[in-house]
Amino acid sequence: MEKTRWAVLGPGTISGDFVTGLRSSEFGVLHAVGSSDAGRAAAFAEQHGAAASGTYDVLTRDDVDAVYIGTVHTTHAELAIRVLEAGKAVLCEKPVTPTADETARVLAAAAESGRPFVEAFKQRFGPFADLLRTIVTEGELGEVREVVAAFGYDQHPRTGRAFDPALAGGAILDVGCYPTSLAVEVARLTGRSALPVEFSEVTAERVNGVDADTTATLTIGDLAVELRTAVIREMPGAAVIRCERGEIVLPDAWGSRIESPSSLILRSEGEERMLTAPTVQPMGAEADAVSRALAEGRAEAPEMPWADTALIAEISTRWLEKARG
* Helix, strand, coil % over all residues of the chain, rounded to 5: 40, 30, 35
Q: Report the first-to-last Cα separation within the chain, whole angstroms.
A: 51
- φ/ψ of 98, rounded to 5, equals -75, -10
Q: Which residues pair with 7 in a beta bridge?
A: 32, 67
Strand runs (DSSP E) across the chain, as ranges?
4-9, 28-34, 52-54, 66-69, 89-93, 117-120, 144-152, 197-207, 210-220, 223-230, 239-243, 246-250, 263-268, 271-276
Q: What is the 3-state secondary structure (H, E, C) of 148-160?
A: EEEEECECCCCCC
- 3-state class of 118 per DSSP? strand
Catalytic: which of 3, 88, 94, 122? 94
Identify the DSSP state of 2.
P
CB atoms within 10 A of CB 60: 15
Our answer to whether residue 94 is catalytic in this structure is yes
18, 70 contact by CB (below 8 A): yes
The residues annotated as belonging to the active site are 94
